[in-house]
Amino acid sequence: MNEMNPKVDFFFDKAKKWQKEYEKLRTVILDCGLTEELKWGCPCYTFEDRNIVLIHGFKEYCAVLFFKGALLADPEGILIQQTENVQSARQVRFTSLAQIVKMERVLKSYVYEAIEVERAGLKVKYKKTSQFKIPDEFQNKLDKTSKLKTAFEALTPGRQRAYIFYFSQPKLSKTRTSRVEKYVKQILNGKGLDD
């Protein structure tokens, strides 16, 4: 088993929920020979400085997230795509320590496969921004305002996708329109959603 990183201990120490589950996931993953680091405030496990798996938790479950989970075979059918917009990462979710104990061998086999994916240098083929549906409210604005269309097309693909996802989320057209209006100036200034 690889060593526990003291910098990561705070994550496990501060956990109010899922503490036993986190500790078990930690030992299972470290037993696979990965290096433990702290990234994004969560325990992240790497192989030759490349991210393999991360432990994180939510109200309803705790999970391990495989960064390139879309490339794993998933013979057990346990990998979950968090939302339709997540292209690469996949989660395995747990709601009890008993589940983790029962799935330890399977979980390790997924970790080993994820390591092999990295060794092989496999890459997830991401969809291009042009393949995402732009909500009508934003498309209408782009069609009517050439400056906005030019500014949007000049943004990086990641910034474009962030806007498309953000504008697409609300169910009501009124809310989508409001979001578009709120960010027109920011797009015209060449800034991303969170800049």
Work out whether strand 90-94 and strand 62-66 pair parallel, antiparallel, or are unpaired: antiparallel
pLDDT reported for residue 57: 94
In eight-state DSSP terms, residue 80 is B
Q: Please answer whether residues 67 and 53 qualify as being in contact, where contact means their C-beta atoms are separated by less than 8 angstroms.
A: yes
List residues bridging with 42 in a β-sheet: 39
Give the global pTM.
Answer: 0.74
d(Cα 149, Cα 108) in Å, to the nearest integer? 48
> Which residue, 60, 33, 59, is CA-closest to 46?
33
What is the arithmetic mean of pLDDT over 54-76? 96
Instruction: Report phi then psi at 88, rounded to 5.
Output: -110, -50
Position 69 confidence tier, pLDDT thresholds 50, 70, 90: very high
Alpha helices in 3-129 (DSSP H): 9-14, 19-30, 97-102, 104-119
Please list, in sequence order, all residues whose beta carbon lies within 8 angstroms of the beta carbon of residue 182, skipping any fewer than 6 positions away.
none
Residue identified by tokens 């693909």 is 157
pLDDT at residue 142 above 90?
yes
Q: Please answer whether residues 99 and 106 qualify as being in contact, where contact means their C-beta atoms are separated by less than 8 angstroms.
A: no
CATH number of 6-119: 3.90.1150.200
Q: Which of 22-31, 60-69, 111-120, 157-166 has the lowest mean pLDDT?
A: 157-166
Residue identified by tokens 């490339």 is 71
d(Cα 135, Cα 139) in Å, to the nearest integer? 6
Q: What does each C-alpha distance from 22 to 27, 78, 102, 170 come to in angstroms?
A: 9, 18, 15, 33
Domain boundaries, the chain: 6-119, 129-188
Angle ∠(13,57,119) on CA atoms, nearest 5 = 100
- pLDDT tens for each residue of 107-131: 999 999 999 999 999 998 877 777 7
Position 45 confidence tier, pLDDT thresholds 50, 70, 90: very high
CA atoms within 13 A on the CB side of 64: 31
Q: Please answer whether residues 1 and 31 qualify as being in contact, where contact means their C-beta atoms are separated by less than 8 angstroms.
A: yes
